[in-house]
Amino acid sequence: MTHIIIPDHETSIGVAAMLDSGEVIALPTETVYGLGADATNGKAVAKIFEIKGRPEFNPLIAHVDGIRMAEEHGVFSDTTRLLAQNFWPGPLTFILPLKETSPISPLVTAGLKTIGMRMPRHKVTLSIIKDLGYPIAAPSANASGKLSPTTPEHVIQSLGYKILNIVAGGKSVVGLESTILDMTGDTPCLLRAGAITRADIEDLIGTIDDATEVTNDTAPKSPGQLLKHYAPKIPLRLNAIDINQGEALLGFGALKFIGIKGGGRINDLPEGWVLNLSPTGDLTEAASNLFSMLHKLGDSGADSIAVMNIPETGIGQAINERLQRASKS
């Protein structure tokens, strides 16, 4: 049974503790209900994708309790600060350069060097973030491909038994996902339209680019199409059952049957050339390690990466989708 938590003055401490222990909880925001997890806990973030049944890893928005927390993770320009001072808390998400010192899980950013952040305008959720002390990663709390939820009942209809707890916070007053503004280029660029409009933004900072515009012969682009994907520096070879010369190994499960072509054992490979997504074959753990391990092997000095077979079940589908993309880029 899904439990609906009716907020009182102690709710935020209790919910923050559950998030801190790795639980995924549906939370109210002014736009739509989000499916939240501690953004610094890769395993908890992996559960979000599992619960939503997303066949791929899109980067997630990190929800902060204010500009100070946001500046621990993303690089703010003067323009970003001005926009935040005017529109936060509220339905405006910034895409910002990710700070190298940020402890945010790479699964939140899908391995990118950028991070999406916003400060939601909802008292209960803001105090939960404050008590947690870290951003909360949250996509909309609906199953993949379904409508975004604006009430706890919608969340139950869509995700039902898959989550234990929903924090009730009334009907989402905006009812539409946040505006997304990419601040990483020379000119800010609108990636998703929302309640804060292009005109609202331009009144404050002057002309911006608009990637959502419809021209005569092109359909509007979705954020998915606009998204840059992280690709490792060196080629990937999938479904490997052995290792070629010069290859590093990204393993999954037991490695005892993996050999090196032409002779040798994986213990003989240079240090840092063998990483295991999950020695016990746990797909959630594998998902949480995927981007960080690809980064590490990309920097290991190997010429390429051999990746063992990942089962196509549950979140394994999203892992394989990501590996397929990476192997083609």
Binding site for ligand TXA (CB under 6 A): 29, 31-32, 34, 58-61, 91, 93, 95, 109, 112, 114-116, 120, 138-140, 177-178, 180, 223, 227
Residue 114: name its binding partner from ligand TXA, Mg ion, none (Cβ under 5 to 8 Å by kind): ligand TXA
Q: In this structure, which amino acid lies at residue 293?
A: M
Q: Work out whether 172 is an interface residue with Mg ion (CB under 5 A).
A: no
Please identify, using beta-carbon distances, which residue of 140 and 300 lies nearer to ligand TXA: 140
Pull the structure tokens for residue 203: 């009144």
Residue written as tokens 């951003």?
135
Q: Could you tell me which residues are beta bridge partners of residue 63? A: 118, 136
CB of 34 to ligand TXA, least distance (A): 3
Q: Which long-range contacts (CB under 8 A, 24 or more apart) does 194-199 make?
A: 194/31, 194/91, 194/92, 195/31, 195/90, 195/91, 196/87, 196/90, 196/91, 196/92
**Looking at beta carbons only, is 74 or 232 nearer to ligand TXA?**
74
Residue of 115, 137, 122 whose CA lies nearest to 37: 137
**Least distance from ligand TXA to the Cβ atom of residue 49, Å:** 10
Instruction: Answer yes or no whether residue 179 interacts with Mg ion by CB under 5 A.
Output: no
Of the candidates 278, 273, 286, which has an alpha carbon nearest to the alpha carbon of residue 316? 286
140 lies in the binding site for Mg ion (CB under 5 A)? yes
61 binds, among Mg ion, ligand TXA, none (CB under 5 to 8 A by kind): ligand TXA
Q: Which is nearer to ligand TXA, 155 or 297 (CB)?
A: 155
Nearer to ligand TXA, 110 or 240 (CB): 110
Tokens 């439990």 — which residue?
3
Contacts to Mg ion by CB under 5 A: 140
